[in-house]
Amino acid sequence: MEIEPAEEVKEPPRIHRLDESVVNRIAAGEVIQRPVSAVKELVENSLDASSTSISVLVKDGGLKLIQVSDDGHGIRYEDLPILCERHTTSKLSKYEDLQSIKSMGFRGEALASMTYVGHVTVTTITRGQLHGYRVSYRDGVMENEPKACAAVKGTQILIENLFYNMVARRKTLQNSADDYTKIVDLLSRFAIHHIDVSFSCRKHGATRADVHSVATPSRLNAIRSVYGLSVAQNLIKIEASDNDPSSSVFEMDGFISNSNYVAKKTTMVLFINDRLVECTALKRALEVVYVATLPKASKPFIYMSITLPPEHVDVNVHPTKREVSLLNQEVIVEKIQSVVESVLRNSNESRTFQEQTVEATPSVPSVTNNDLHLSPSPPGSKSQRVPVNKIVRTDSSDPAGRMHAYLYKNPQKYLGRDSSLTTVRSSVRQRRNLKETADLTSIQELINDIDRKCHSGLLDIVRQSTYIGMADDVFALLQHNTHLYLANVVNLSKELMYQQVLRRFAHFNAIQLSEPAPLQELIMLALKEEDSDLESNENDDLKKKIAEMNTQLLNQKSEMLEEYFCIFIDSDGNLSRLPILLDQYTPDMDRVPEFVLCLGNDVEWEEEKNCFQSLAAALGNFYAMHPPMLPNPSGKGLEFYRKRKHGKHTQDGGNSCHVDGTAEEDEFEHELLSEAETAWAQREWSIQHVLFPSMRLFLKPPNSMASNGTFVRVASLEKLYKIFERC
């Protein structure tokens, strides 16, 4: 009999104190994350030194060299030995000073961190001195004694070989163009806020600065100088304030873009107590206002300066001081959001368009401005003829050229809608979340996933394309520039509804069912529809047990379903309310049983993020614009509604014939046919007037749609024109 050797008992690993150099390098990597972080810290130090001129020189995106020069008060000779030690500062003495801190630097970590990841050289002179001093630092200490040198007023800090001892970090930052762009953007933001300071930024070896601003008394002039005339001329002055100690105390002034401004991404420059920071909640709240208010839903340009009492701001919440924490942040955001919305709605009453003159010739029909991309013509330029094959639809609200103009002579007969198209579009634009939607981290993560996976090319097609008509039961025909696309309506509507659930999370309006529907009966109905053998009763007990279990589960989750998704289940297990995901649109109620079964079977209730994601997916599938249950009453589908005679359909597709040769008209199930015509016409109306306008405002198409057949390019109008020209 073999005896197994006893398992060797392992001792727990010892805890030891890290070497100070390791600790300092780890801390440095948190504070100086990339070259732009170093530039920000140095520029803020220059501003704290009361500088009136700051210049930045950059080589290889900041990895080879960063030089920041200012004309501030300089650094004392006796302070140079401890200048780059950790936690040495002239702005803070005790922790309580943080409650009233007004300077941008205060922890004494920035310069120290730079010496642990780069080679730092400081040249400085103070007022009244005959010469300056130059000294080099490494790992927080001076490499040699300060040397006397010629110097101009202020301080110059030179950082060379940034991240030379952090191989992985340096490899990830090899694209110097990206980092230089970030540095230029940073200096541009400082330049439009600190209008009493001159800023410049240029690449090493370049003769021309990429940022060059001079001190000016006008904020608008500073914006014009940095961001250009096209931005400055489309800005609106905005102000807000509150002085109620019980709610919020703040003052805000700034500029926001109007309805004539067009951009593909949001530019938000935010300063709080003169500190350049980010506030995701405020940015998202303002973007929601723009999406709901402006017809083109263009991304805005926003500059805001918010002033609060220093004790209401916690500046010590992020290693790079990029974020701050505000007292009564939700109240402040809501009040600013309301002011912006009011200003935008007033400015949206009129828009300015630049016209392009087009010569009309006998061979080319006259073209209206709606048919062309409107762009300013250079002064003195001649009017240019637009080739016929280049004329494209550019106004999605213009029905000219759509197939509907030729297919239906009286569409109201099918729809029976009281509201006009203008009312519907207005409702779609005005619908917005009044409060912050992403109160939960899991919801914010899901929304961030949507933004991260958005396909920019498809987004442009969705925003700029024109709806032409339905090509078949599933695909719609769109035109974007001179290309025609088939777009899968079911996939698009499913994704749009999914995204709307997440964005409107916990802030839904409700659809009230005419009569409460028992959950158990709905689930039984769905289970029977899934069973292909309708005559079999063998599994009825199993179906009943599944229905009971799912009903019990949904009853347990009813409070959460009502609070977050507006799905109301009463104490008796009856479904009586559903959420509104898009105004003017009600889902196909024939799919309610399938939806309820999906809630019970497919939702992952255990983990929060997966739960919300699967619930949003279930709602998205239910609200998607699937083809109606009844077959399409056109083409071959019409045969379904023909009355059967002696158990058979007539096969000639036309009129039936008597023995004596006389013909009688085909007979149809007119009531069923009328119901199908209404359902299909209503779906197509919803696709044209609700789905596609909403997609232009809200949908961010994921990358997967580029490869799964949701969008298929079918033709180029330029090539078709050449073919027709030959005929």
Residue with tokens 């704290």: 48
pLDDT, tens digit (0-9, with 9 covering 90-100), for 651-698: 444 444 444 444 444 577 888 888 888 888 889 888 988 899 889 888
Would you tell me how many other CB atoms lie within 10 Å of the CB of residue 301? 22
What pLDDT score was predicted for residue 100?
Answer: 53
Neighbour-count burial for 628-663, b at 16+ CB within 10 Å, e otherwise: bebbbbeeeebebbbeeeeeeebeeeeeeeeeeeee
pLDDT digits (tens, 9 = 90+) for 485-496: 999 999 999 999
Please give the Cα distance from 179 to 201 (Å, whole number). Answer: 13
Distance from chain centroid for Cα 643: 53
The secondary structure element, H or E, covering residue 302 is strand 301-307
Minimum mean pLDDT among 204-213, 274-283, 362-371: which range?
A: 362-371
* CA separation for the pair 695, 425 (Å, rounded): 12
Please, which pLDDT band fits residue 519 given cuts at 50, 70 and 90? very high
Residue 94 — pLDDT band, cuts 50, 70, 90? low
Who wins on pLDDT, 502 or 20?
502
Is the Cβ–Cβ distance between 599 and 467 less than 8 Å?
no
In the predicted model, what is the mean pLDDT of residues 287-305? 80
Residues with Cβ within 8 Å of residue 661, at least 6 apart in sequence: none
pTM: 0.48
Look at the block and give the residue holding tokens 């100086």: 32
d(C-alpha 558, C-alpha 572), whole Å: 11
Q: Where are the beta strands (DSSP E) in 366-452?
A: none
> In the chain, what is the straight-line distance between the N-terminal and C-terminal CA atoms, in Å?
97
How far apart are alpha carbons 680 and 722 in whole angstroms?
Answer: 36
More confident residue, 106 or 34: 34
- Residue 520 confidence (pLDDT) above 70: yes
User: Scanning the structure block, which residue is given the tokens 């990830």?
Assistant: 172
Question: Is residue 624 classed exposed, middle or buried when 0-12, 13-18 and 19+ CB atoms within 10 A define those classes?
Answer: buried
- Domains along the sequence of the chain with CATH: 20-213 (3.30.565.10), 228-346 (3.30.230.10), 441-531+541-623 (no CATH)
Structure-model confidence comparison of residues 713 and 24, the more confident one: 713
What is the average pLDDT value for the chain, to the nearest integer? 78
Q: What is the pLDDT of residues 239-255, one digit of tens each?
A: 998 888 777 888 999 99
- Residue among 209, 223, 181, 224 at smallest CA distance from 61: 181
Q: In terms of C-beta density within 10 A (0-12 exposed, 13-18 middle, 19 or more buried), how is residue 606 classed?
A: exposed
Identify residue 691 by its one-letter amino acid code: L
**Measured between alpha carbons, how far is 159 from 157 in angstroms, rounded to an integer?**
7
CB 345: neighbour CB atoms within 10 A?
14
Q: Is the model more confident about 308 or about 4? A: 308
413-448 burial, b for 16+ CB within 10 Å, e for fewer? ebbeeeeeeeebbeebbebbbeebbbeeebbbebbe
pLDDT digits (tens, 9 = 90+) for 298-318: 788 999 999 888 777 776 555
Specify the range with the lowest mean pLDDT, choosing from 301-305, 411-415, 574-578: 411-415
User: What's the confidence (pLDDT) of residue 373?
Assistant: 38
**The pLDDT value given to residue 578:** 93
| 699 in Cβ contact with 462 (< 8 Å) | yes
Mean of the pLDDT values across residues 29-39? 81
Assign 518 a pLDDT band (cuts: 50, 70, 90): very high
pLDDT at 256 over 60: yes
| Across 441-461, average pLDDT | 91
